[in-house]
Structure 1
Amino acid sequence: MPTTVFTTASADGTDVRAYDEGQGPVLLVVGPGMDDGTRTKKLAALLARRFRVLRLQRRRYRLDLKTGDGPCSAAQEVDDVLALARAAGEPAFLYGHSSGGVIALEALAASPSSFAGAVIFEPAAVTGPPLGGEEGAVVSRARAAIAAGRPGRGLSIFMREAVGLPSWQATAAGAFTGLVPRYRRLIPRQIDDLEAMNELGVRLDAYARIDVPVLLLGGDRSPAHLAERLDALEHVLPHAHRVVMPDRDHGADLKAPRQVAHIIETFVDSTDTRP
């Protein structure tokens, strides 16, 4: 199925770009950290059999945009999602993963009428202490490693202390990612992403006003804190449903895209009220 690039303008005039494929109900995809819209390619290809899938090229991870005024804010990324929803035709369905899941929740809170429902996969939402523990410590250590010319080390710190991966796995992930030039350039933005999530703080009161169906998705092999964040969201979202994938973790969208696609399709079928 052919893929094109769909463009529109955000509230501040910045162009918003998304990979566009398929036909049917509109499904907006907001990927996790380190994703420039390409991570969800396999998942989108499966979903495009039934939906018009728009994979947002997240502003934070677009290397073509100048960052002279510093990193973008979570609010700017939310504006991008809302602009995409308006341009594509409302109400749309929404899928968000990890930090992209938080951006999706913020978009739902800002304009629930723009969306028919959402699937949120293990969002990196602050529900208590800052992500990674003591405020600013992980960000400072990761940035110091990047400044010393060791971006892979910076990512390993993030993976271990914020994501919660075992030390060996975090070290391996950082070492591998740091060897790929394109990913090396994205690592500092992942640390910016972490800081943006912590700057948002606890937003459970805002999410409690989201008046559309939300499916909270997770894997039983993911770090325990991600399930705890889903617990907190399930408690406050008025129309929340929960699905736990057995033997899956935070990378289920890559390792089991058919399973994730099936869950999304089933959710849309159960909530789509169009004639």
Structure 2
Amino acid sequence: MSKRWRILAVATILWAVLLPGAANAATYTFSAAGKIAYEKMNASAETAVRTRIQAQYAELQSLEMKGEETDKRTYELHDRNELALKAVKLRIKAIDEAAIAKLDGQVKSAQAKYKPLFDSYTALNKRAEAARKLKNKEVNAALKLQTDIMKVTVQLARDDIRAKQDKLKLAKNAAASKAKRAKEPLAAIDSYKPRIQAEKRAASTAKSAGKTLWSSFNAAAKKSNSADASSHLAGLLKLAGQTNAAKQNQYALEQKIADAIARAETLAAA
């Protein structure tokens, strides 16, 4: 085989493996030889047995199709949940962000506005302290008067800053309370995830057992042993039912996650 054809062969295999759905191809599908053996067995079986086998196989195909549909719905819902969860976490983090930023800006603006006043007041107090050491009554009296007058203005400035800081603190506390309430529904998600994994394992175990039993069914069909074939199909139906039940449980848990996210979104927007 030339190098070019080897590359094409490898590319074809990779494409088949990576093709969406390739990994989840139908389990209970006949090969060409298996289909012939199945039809040959049915042709030789008694009418009642043939009717039962055909009904069993039709039900098995229906169950597998329902399982695949459930998988598709679950994967789609899971992807939506992942995106929605990221979005709601960002929304919770940004609760009252604009209002808090505005109040924080007002505090900083007030601090900058009054800084020259505070600096002047500090400098005046230093001058007064220095003057007291000189024991000049007139100078001390003049500086004390200036200090007393400025002290009132400084106190009003401090009160203004403190009032703005109090508003900022209240806004931050309110936002933290809202965020805490909004996060509460999300806490349940951590308990759902291991349950989803458990259901996946249950579905995988049942499907694996089904593959083995499907081989036994095909062997019985090849031997035209309709009684064994029907018995294997009965077992396959039970396993397919277990597989689908586990898949339905996965979807139900993903729906619980979606509900939790929706409640969190509602609380975050309140």
Bin for the TM-score computed over the shorter chain: under 0.3
What's the TM-score, normalizing by structure 2?
0.19
Normalized per residue, the structure richer in strand is: 1
Greater helix share, structure number:
2
TM-score (norm 1): 0.19
Query: Which structure has more RCO (C-alpha within 8 Å, separation ≥ 6)?
Result: 2
